[in-house]
Homo-oligomer: A and B are copies of this chain.
Amino acid sequence: MSASRLQRIQQVLNQRQPDLTAVMAGVHKEHNVSAVMRTCDAVGAWEIHSVGQDGRLVIKRTAAAGVQRWVRLHQHPDVAEGCRALRDRGFQLVAAHLCDEAVDFREVDYTRPTALVLGREKLGVPEAALAQVDTAIRIPMAGFTDSLNVSVAAAVVLYEAQRQRLEAGLYDQRRLDDETYRRTLFEWVQP
């Protein structure tokens, strides 16, 4: 390992946000899963969740497969249990979901521990997930399209979170605890 590679790994670890994550609630198209995971990595999410897949999410494509090393994917066959586990860890659950009660996505405070819940390509966020969320958010749309692509919606919200966290200085000091930092550094320097 070169010195610059080690430095890069440390830099990434120093910016990882243990309290920012996304929950793919039935998102299953390969290109969407891949795009969401790349965006999560880019905003520094520490982990990513998939809830309620029939069976398990199979990640075939190289792009997404590679990202999994840097953003760990946790799979929860049961939607409600997966969401509850995140709530129990102190995350606010924010669902990207176009309903009457949804607030503008820019109104939410994403500097708080946040899990962004994303819905299925055709059917949106499952009821069992909606039952657990704290807030529903909408990305305003001024045209005739009914909804945005799910990986697009994820990115718009996650980059608003990134903006707020940048402003709040959350990328300026290490957010991981010492033990996690050391353990992961050790793991990531392995070839």
Interface residues of A (CB under 8 A from B): 8, 12, 15-16, 29, 31, 34-35, 38-39, 41-44, 67, 70-71, 106, 139-145, 147-149, 151-152, 154-156, 159, 162-163, 171
Please tell me if the beta carbons of B142 and A43 are within 8 angstroms of each other in the complex.
yes
Please tell me if the beta carbons of B142 and A35 are within 8 angstroms of each other in the complex.
no
Please tell me if the beta carbons of A159 and B145 are within 8 angstroms of each other in the complex.
no
What B residues does A142 contact at CB under 8 A?
12, 15-16, 42-44, 162, 171
What B residues does A163 contact at CB under 8 A?
106
The residue among A41, A70, A142, A171 with the most chain B CB atoms within 10 A of its own CB is A142
Rounded to whole angstroms, the CA-CA distance of A162 and B154 in the bound complex is: 16
A144 and B12 contact, Cβ closer than 8 Å, known pairs A34-B149, A149-B34, A152-B155? yes
What B residues does A41 contact at CB under 8 A?
141, 143-145
9 tightest A-B CB contacts, nearest first: A41-B143, A35-B149, A42-B141, A152-B155, A44-B142, A15-B142, A38-B145, A41-B145, A156-B159
- Please name 7 further chain A to chain B contacts, defined as beta carbons within 8 Å, in addition to the given A31-B149, A44-B142, sorted by A numbering: A12-B143, A12-B144, A39-B148, A70-B144, A151-B151, A155-B155, A156-B159
Can you report 18 residue pairs joining A to B where beta carbons are below 8 Å apart?
Answer: A12-B143, A12-B144, A15-B142, A31-B31, A38-B152, A39-B148, A41-B141, A41-B145, A42-B142, A42-B145, A43-B143, A67-B144, A70-B145, A140-B162, A148-B155, A152-B155, A155-B155, A155-B156
What B residues does A34 contact at CB under 8 A?
149
What B residues does A152 contact at CB under 8 A?
35, 38-39, 151-152, 154-155
Least CB distance, A1 to chain B, in whole angstroms: 14
